[in-house]
Amino acid sequence: MERDPALSEKLRGRAAAGGVGRRSTTSCPRALRLLAGAALAAVLLHGGEAGAEPGPVPRLLVEDFEGPEWHWEGAARDDAQAAEGNASARWELPAQPTASSFRVPEDWSPFDNLRFRARVRGAASVEIHVVAECDDPDTDSRDYFYRAVTLVPGDWQSVRMPLESFEGSGQPLGWEHVDRLLFSTEWGLGPTPTATVYLDQVLLTRDSLKVDDEGWEQGNQGAVWHRAWKVQNRASGSMHLTATPEGDVPAGLRVGQVECPGADLPPGQGLRIRLPVRVAGEPGAAATRRALLAAALSGDAEGFSLIVTAQPTQVDGAETPAEREDYRLPAYLGSLYYQTHRPEKHPWVWFTEAEKRRLKALTDEPIARAAWVENRTCADNAVRWWEQAREAPRATPTFGPLRLVDVLNLAAVSDEQPYTDVARGLLLRFASREDWVSHRHKPRIVDLTSATQAMALGMGYDALWDRITEGERVWVRKPLLEKAILPYLTVLDHRRFPTADYRNNWCSVVTANIGVAVASLLGDDPRAAVWFHRVVREYFAILDHLPSDGGWSEGLSYWEYAVDSLLVFAEVVRRVTGGEVDALQNPFWAKTGDFVLHNYLPPEGWVNFCDAQRAPSNRAVLLKLGQELHRPDWNWLATRMPFRGQPKELLLWPENANGERPSAGAPRAAAFPEVGWVSMRSGWDDDAVVLALRSGYKDPHSHLDLTRSCCTPSARRSSAICLSATTRPATSARAANPRSTGPPPRGTTPSS
């Protein structure tokens, strides 16, 4: 490989004092997230079950509570109440915490929904878990899918639960092997009210319609856009469709008449539903752009949907009344901003010409030297692997996908053609990986590993777009969609973990990394603007739910892991929108660097109430925050941290990284009340004494013991006393989080 000797000198060689640390042998996944437009987001409730007669849609009766032989534990047959037939199950709360049966159909996989009827006699709503056990006898505990649902007092209600909205716990064998059905008030749902719950008519059903969101298409007249969906009839009979708008249209946008061919849709046939949307102003005008931006950032933009109603066409002589089905198709109208504002050509996020100049300038920064040396080492290891594996098409890389970013960095600053060639080869190899989700995180369908892979591939796809053929682009896009973006959107649709668990590092890492991948597809896929809009909204929801005091309950290590990903995506959003959307204006950023600063134990130690042995070590995070928030004391801290991070840090490295030690008059104490954490110090010199206290909610990454104090081993001269106390977790914090009702997610360490 031909090399520029001067550059090589800068990028390799011996580390400067305090420079090169050891790179961990495990790669540190950074997740990405994307949103997909699974349109069947909502759990729709409506009455009028048609009974046990086979209707036009495949369905299977699980239980009608009519049979002579009773096999339910925890519930009794009731002949006075019935939603269908003559009997139901009577479940007395709180005396019987669960009602369950082993006599259920085994294979649920052909169906989309579990449905049942329920009636609550009592003063308050009852929150229950519905659990489908599919136990693997080779694992110690029971393995199952579960989901919470709230039943309200009053008349019989119908509950429809999409099977894809269920979370897995343990290693469930799959929907083909269900062996038990439970209704339960246990697993962290809070106090169970006194109530009688009647259950009846438990069914497995299939959706008649398959709905695919097709995103945005531009109309003939330039100013008109169409939101489009494709709908297919999977039922055995014809369906009559109508589409009705529901909800408010964001200010500045106008919607026209829904185009939904009203004719009967024969079985197996599909049609497109289109919603014309235009901006109420001059296309391209500044006011129009502002209106679109406001729609993208306003919560109102989420309110508008189409309700598609499918009515089976009555068959002559049929005795069973045809049953109507409703489908909610969220329009996400605010996404029009990203559709009309997408960049013109690749690369538009990373490794643009301006970005290459920044990276090249960074090779002269002494403080970045260790990162470059590490980058060169990692990239050259990848090149060596590639040279051996090039002729073995089935060989998949023995290292993590972030190595692709290392190679791209080198390609950007060195102009050495082999790095570009190897990056292209790695991009295609990583795309062909069979499993994107780590084995130990299954049955999750998105995890830190898959999101990190999506981010790296998204960066590579954007950077190498004009170096690969359209066939190769499809080769990358397809798994990127099917193995990362669409699963993430399914999880987001149903608010499954990690989405909405805002203070868990998974939520930040997965959302931000999927977002990077989606950004790379803007302009290449008509759905990407919708996905990007949804990721950005989830991203801002995360920022709004993080502690306003800047603390992080999971401690410094997870703070760094999550904040790194959040910062990278903030930069992506800036670049995609030309700076019009700037997440760094969010108040979360104003104080969060202080969380690290005030827990610094000079010269190289940290106050530690959590698993945080290696952290913090990513200097770029603090440097970026210091520059953006005008905090030279954060920059100063960054320069004192040993480099143990990833070369990926270089993506965030700011141009001006000058730091200043906190002045003598600077605050020497900081409180982070939302995470129950206080740190005080005698000063900012290396012989400072630090006293830190922690109390309150104990999350899975904390290490607190009641009434026990611990001394963090002092690094050389300074010393710290850390005191902690625990309290029971707040009930509300658990009740708000369906994930915490099952076992905690496994493998949440940053080095997964």
Q: Which residues bind Ca ion (CB under 5 A)?
A: 64-65, 82, 84-85, 135-136, 139, 143, 200
* Residue matched to tokens 């109507």: 324
- Reduced 3-state DSSP string for 199-214: EEEEEEECCCEEEEEE
- C-beta closer to Ca ion: residue 173 or 378: 173
The nearest distance, CB 203 to Ca ion, in angstroms, is 11
DSSP strand pairing (325-330 vs 600-601): unpaired
Q: Which residues contact 202 (CB under 8 A, 6 or more apart)?
A: 61, 62, 63, 64, 114, 115, 116, 181
With contact defined as beta carbons under 8 Å apart, do 703 and 610 qualify?
yes
Which of 156, 588 has the CB closer to Ca ion? 156
Tell me phi and psi for residue 663, to 5 degrees.
-70, 165
Closer Cβ to Ca ion, 13 or 85, answer by number: 85
Toward Ca ion, which CB reaches closer, 119 or 346?
119
What DSSP assignment string belongs to 438-461? -GGGTT-SS-HHHHHHHHHHHHHH
Report in angstroms how near the CB of residue 199 gets to Ca ion at its nearest: 9
The token pair that represents 696 in the structure block = 């309150």
DSSP E strands: which ranges in 84-142?
88-93, 98-101, 113-122, 126-133
- Pairing between β-strand 719-724 and β-strand 689-694 as defined by DSSP bridges: parallel
Q: How many residues does the chain have?
A: 752
Least distance to Ca ion, CB of residue 52, Å: 9
DSSP bridge partners of 270 = 232
Task: Tell me phi and psi for residue 591, to 5 degrees.
Answer: -115, -10
Q: Which is nearer to Ca ion, 87 or 459 (CB)?
A: 87
Which residue type is seen at 729? P
Q: How many CB atoms lie within 10 A of CB 590?
A: 15
DSSP string, 5-21: HHHHHHHSSSPPTT-B-
Q: How far is the CB of 63 from Ca ion (least distance, A)?
A: 8
How far apart are CB 229 and Ca ion at their closest, in Å? 36
Smallest gap from residue 235 Cβ to Ca ion (A) = 25
Beta bridge partners of 677: 672, 694
Cβ at position 243, least distance to Ca ion in Å = 34
φ, ψ for residue 151 (rounded to 5)? -105, 135
Question: For residues 77 and 591, which CB has a smaller minimum distance to Ca ion in the complex?
Answer: 77
Least distance from Ca ion to the Cβ atom of residue 171, Å:
7
* Residue 180 vs 433, nearer CB to Ca ion: 180
Is the CB of 143 or the CB of 462 nearer to Ca ion? Answer: 143
- Give me the least distance between CB of 80 and Ca ion, in Å please: 12
CB of 131 to Ca ion, least distance (A): 14
As measured in angstroms, the least distance from the Cβ of 54 to Ca ion is 17
3-state class (DSSP) for residue 331: coil
Residue type, 171: Q
How far is residue 739's CA from residue 744's CA, in Å, rounded to a whole number? 7
Shortest spacing between CB 160 and Ca ion, in angstroms: 18
Q: Which residues pair with 148 in a beta bridge?
A: 129
**Nearest one of 635, 717, 725, 711 to 682, comparing CA atoms:** 717
- Exposure pattern of 72-93 as b/e (b: 16+ CB <10 Å)? bebbeebeebbbbeebbbbbeb
Distance CA 403, CA 425 (A): 12
Residue type, 736: A
At CA 205, angle to CA 201 and CA 207, rounded to 5?
140
Smallest gap from Cβ 534 to Ca ion, in A, equals 35
In terms of CB distance, is 139 or 658 closer to Ca ion?
Answer: 139
Please, which residue, 136 or 524, has the CB nearer to Ca ion?
Answer: 136
Q: Where does 328-368 have alpha helices with state H?
A: 336-340, 353-362
Among residues 517, 521, 491, the alpha carbon closest in space to that of 506 is found at: 491
Ordered strands of the 719-724 beta sheet: 669-672, 677-681, 689-694, 719-724, 709-710
- What is the smallest separation between the CB atom of 86 and Ca ion, expressed in angstroms? 7
Task: Give me the least distance between CB of 173 and Ca ion, in Å please.
Answer: 9
- Residue whose CB is less far from Ca ion, 170 or 281: 170
If the CB atoms of residues 88 and 702 are measured against Ca ion, the closer one turns out to be 88
What one-character DSSP code corresponds to residue 712? P
Q: Residue 84 or 164: which CB sits closer to Ca ion?
A: 84
Smaller CB separation from Ca ion, 51 or 683: 51
Which CB, 65 or 419, lies closer to Ca ion? 65
3-state secondary structure string across 257-309? CCECCCCEECCCCEEEEEEEEEECCCCCCHHHHHHHHHHHHCHHHHCCEEEEE
| Cα distance between residue 433 and residue 667, in whole Å | 51
Q: Could you tell me which of 570, 557, 572 has the C-alpha nearest to residue 505? A: 557
